[in-house]
């Protein structure tokens, strides 16, 4: 009987169990986690913070499902792997033997390093414990400062506003999330934040966090301003949790390097999810993809391969439906223009493939809240940002992921004022119908 060991109870780890069980009903599965709350929806944390959902909603699987998957849960932190002996070793030196191992240790928030960063009241949004801490600390009428970019900064901002706090937002450059959004999209988001009473400080960086009796009382900016506050929310990016891999003689670059089968540089050891650095056929580079969907997809493929199957993981273009300042937004494929100066490392819920500068022309329409931006390549669509009305979202996902040849509508898409939603949905329906015949 094969003994499977999985380090990490996130999206990738649980999917791997599903993958293994689809091939092997008998093997022994051990799931190891250092998160006291086990498996829950991390994208759902933002909604728990705003009070839109309760904690129970974050747990997508019933007890019965877990029972059916038949695995043993161990709550401990793994320190290293001995690939020669096929053993993992925890912080206390306890060992567990494996036949097949998956590293699905995810990623974690980058911490501030400026003076005062250890004061009580400096908070991040990374896991369920963090949400509980923020909720304990947030007080109606008190002030908060949020530092950072990407989706997580907005989630913290919205959570603090929902708790009735007066919120300041520090943006290092001249606009929000400039590496993924274009200027109009940034301004739409900023406008909505301002409507919620958030004060945005552009070209502003924190230099020191000020404290009294171990608690945050304010922040001094590099520009010389002092803003009194009781809480500081930090969202300056994430980095993969590669410590275990580094201690274990595995090939590590920015993430844990894997081949097309999600296999690492050591026999019988796989990696999946935020920690894995996977090949991206669109750019020809090996990249990090810190999104829920890819973590689930990779985990499943890794599970199949651990159970003896030989399945390649082919990375599709990045796809994410999220909420930016209350506005439903879908981001597909390559849409951005490089590094975001607000974010150190990679942004939570982000994808590096969004930031590859696309060799494309932009077609866009609607400058109000419903906005569609397409990145049009020579024969294919490379990416899309869909804000508000989501009716083109699914057709665009398929057109971009299947790399459909859009030559027949390219000129019309690029005509100023073209009805983009109509053009892409009709093209998608016609192509599907033609394929079905
Ligand atoms: C607030 C927030 C909002 C998000 N929003 C979105 C979104 O809108 N869309 C989207 O696509 N993605 C979003 N994400 C990102 C998404 O949640 C991640 O991409 C996904 O969770 C990655 O899954 P994973 O299994 O690779 O890692 P994780 O979910 O990070 O799980 C890793 C697991 O490994 C455990 N672990 C790590 N090291 C060790 C060790 N040494 N020993 C034992 N256990 C260990 C951890 O405790 C954890 O259980 C969001 C994330 C957060 C935090």
In degrees and rounded to multiples of 5, residue 318 shows phi and psi of -60, 145
Give the position of tokens 């400096």.
122
Residue 71: exposure state from Cβ atoms within 10 A (0-12, 13-18, ≥19): buried
Name the nearest CA neighbour of 14 among 386, 308, 299. Answer: 299
Complete edge-to-edge strand list for the sheet that includes strand 143-148: 122-124, 231-235, 143-148, 166-170, 199-201
Q: What share of residues in the chain are helix, strand, coil (percent, to 5)? A: 30, 30, 45
Query: Can you read off the two tokens belonging to residue 235?
Result: 């969202």
- Token code pair at residue 222: 């590099």
In the structure encoding, which two tokens stand for residue 85, read together?
Answer: 């002996």
Helix 128-137 / helix 150-162 crossing angle, nearest 10 deg = 40
CA-proximal residue: ligand 1, atom 26 (nearest): 273
pLDDT in tens, 295-306: 999 999 999 999
Is pLDDT at 376 greater than 70 in this prediction?
Answer: yes
62 vs 60: CA distance, rounded Å: 7
pTM of the model: 0.94
Q: What is the pLDDT of residue 336?
A: 84
Which pLDDT score is estimated for 66?
86
Task: Please tell me the predicted confidence (pLDDT) of residue 89.
Answer: 98
Q: 128: pLDDT confidence band, cut at 50, 70 and 90?
A: very high
Q: Count of residues for the chain? A: 437
Taking the CA of residue 293 as reference, the ligand 1 atom at the shortest distance is 11
Pocket test for ligand 1, best of 33, 36, 76, 154 (most atoms within 8 A of CB): 33
Best residue for ligand 1 mutational test, from 291, 313, 322, 346 (most atoms within 8 Å of Cβ): 291
* Ligand 1 atom with minimal separation from the 11 CA: 25
pLDDT at 260: 97
Q: In what order do the strands lie in the sheet with 381-387?
A: 319-324, 327-333, 381-387, 371-376, 361-365
Query: Other CB atoms closer than 10 Å to residue 379's CB: what's the count?
Result: 11
Other beta carbons within 10 angstroms of residue 57's beta carbon come to 13
- Measured CA to CA, the distance from residue 97 to residue 81 in angstroms comes to 10
Tokens of 436: 């079905």
Helices (H), 24-166: 45-50, 63-69, 128-137, 150-162
Three-class SS state of 274: helix
For the CA of 8, the nearest atom of ligand 1: 34
Digit-coded pLDDT (tens) for 323-349: 999 999 999 998 887 666 677 677 788
pLDDT of residue 124: 97
- Kindly give the distance from the C-alpha atom of residue 11 to the centroid of ligand 1, in angstroms, as a whole number: 7
Average pLDDT over residues 415-423: 91
Pocket test for ligand 1, best of 8, 92, 241, 323 (most atoms within 8 A of CB): 8
Q: What is the mean pLDDT of residues 11-29?
A: 97
Give the nearest ligand 1 atom to 42 CA: 17
Sign of CA dihedral 78, 79, 81, 87: negative
């Amino acid at each position: 009987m094969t003994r499977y060991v999985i380090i990490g109870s996130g999206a990738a780890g649980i999917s791997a169990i599903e993958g293994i069980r689809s091939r092997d009903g008998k093997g022994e599965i051990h799931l190891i986690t250092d998160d006291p709350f086990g498996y829950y929806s991390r994208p759902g944390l933002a909604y728990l913070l705003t009070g839109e959902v309760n904690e129970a909603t974050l747990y997508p699987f019933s007890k019965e499902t877990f029972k059916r998957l038949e695995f043993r849960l161990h709550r401990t932190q793994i320190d290293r792997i001995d690939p020669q002996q096929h053993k993992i070793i925890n912080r206390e030196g306890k060992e567990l033997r494996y036949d097949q191992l998956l590293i699905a240790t995810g990623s974690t928030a980058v911490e501030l390093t400026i003076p005062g960063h250890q004061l009580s009241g400096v908070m991040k949004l990374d896991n369920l414990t963090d949400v509980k801490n923020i909720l304990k600390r947030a007080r109606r009428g008190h002030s908060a400062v949020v530092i950072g970019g990407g989706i997580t900064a907005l989630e913290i901002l919205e959570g603090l506003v929902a708790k009735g706090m007066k919120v300041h937002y520090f943006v290092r450059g001249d606009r929000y999330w400039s590496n993924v959004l274009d200027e109009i999209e940034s301004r739409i988001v900023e406008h909505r934040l301002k409507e919620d009473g958030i004060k945005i400080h552009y070209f502003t960086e924190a230099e020191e966090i000020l404290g009294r009796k171990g608690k945050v009382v304010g922040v001094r900016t590099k520009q010389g301003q002092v803003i009194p506050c009781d809480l500081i929310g930090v969202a300056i990016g994430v980095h993969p949790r590669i410590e275990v891999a580094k201690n274990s003689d595995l090939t590590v670059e920015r993430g844990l390097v894997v081949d097309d089968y999600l296999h690492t540089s050591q026999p019988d050891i796989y990696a999946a999810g935020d920690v894995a650095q996977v090949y991206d056929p669109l750019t020809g580079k090996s990249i990090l993809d810190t999104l829920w969907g890819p973590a689930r997809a990779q985990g499943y493929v890794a599970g199949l391969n651990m159970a003896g199957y030989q399945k390649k993981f082919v990375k599709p273009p990045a796809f994410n439906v999220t909420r930016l300042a209350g506005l439903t937004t879908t981001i597909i494929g390559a849409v951005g223009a490089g590094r975001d100066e607000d974010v150190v490392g990679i942004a939570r819920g982000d994808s590096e493939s969004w930031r590859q500068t696309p060799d494309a022309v932009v077609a866009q329409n609607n400058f109000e809240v419903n906005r569609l931006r397409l990145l049009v390549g020579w024969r294919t669509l490379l990416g899309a940002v869909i804000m508000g009305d989501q009716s083109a979202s699914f057709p665009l996902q398929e057109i971009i992921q299947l790399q459909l040849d859009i030559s027949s509508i390219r000129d019309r898409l690029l005509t100023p004022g073209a009805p983009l939603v109509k053009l892409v949905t009709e093209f998608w329906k016609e192509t599907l119908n033609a394929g079905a015949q």
